[in-house]
Amino acid sequence: QEAIQDLSTQEGRLKSVVPDGALLGGGSDPQDGPSEEEKERERAALEAMDREVAVAEAELEDLQRAQDRAQDRVDMAESDWRQHHKDRGLEQILSKARIRLESAVDDCAFGAQRLAAL
């Protein structure tokens, strides 16, 4: 969620500092500004970036839900393990659940980094 907020903040700052079309060249005269074709290319590029950000946000949300489910499984496995006097079979289940949780945490971190890089 922090990565999503950071990205939105960065996008807002960029838009407030760089007016539409400012990054595009213009004609030969700097006062001409960008052509309609250049403006359309810029709009298309921004729309593509918006779609990419939306996909990355959705993927990160999915990863966060997977992490939450993995944490729930670890919590249940720990509870079962304690209730059944630290049974060896339950200990193995708990160990596997912890490994999956670590993987989910790593996946979320990667997803957040990917989103922040956009």
CA 86 to CA 78: how far, in whole Å? 9
Q: pLDDT class for 11, splitting at 50, 70, 90?
A: low
Whole-number pLDDT of residue 17: 47
The parent domain of residue 92 ranges over 2-117
Whole-number pLDDT of residue 84: 83
pLDDT at 108 > cutoff 60: yes
- The CA distances from residue 118 to 1, 11, 61, 65, 75, in Å, are 15, 10, 16, 22, 34
| First CA to last CA distance, the chain | 15
**Residues 12-71: pLDDT tens digits?**
544 554 455 555 554 455 566 778 888 899 999 889 889 999 998 999 999 999 989 999
Give the residue with greater pLDDT, 8 vs 100. Answer: 100
Whole-number pLDDT of residue 89: 84
Q: pLDDT class for 8, splitting at 50, 70, 90?
A: low
pLDDT at 94 > cutoff 50: yes
Q: How many domains does the chain have?
A: 1
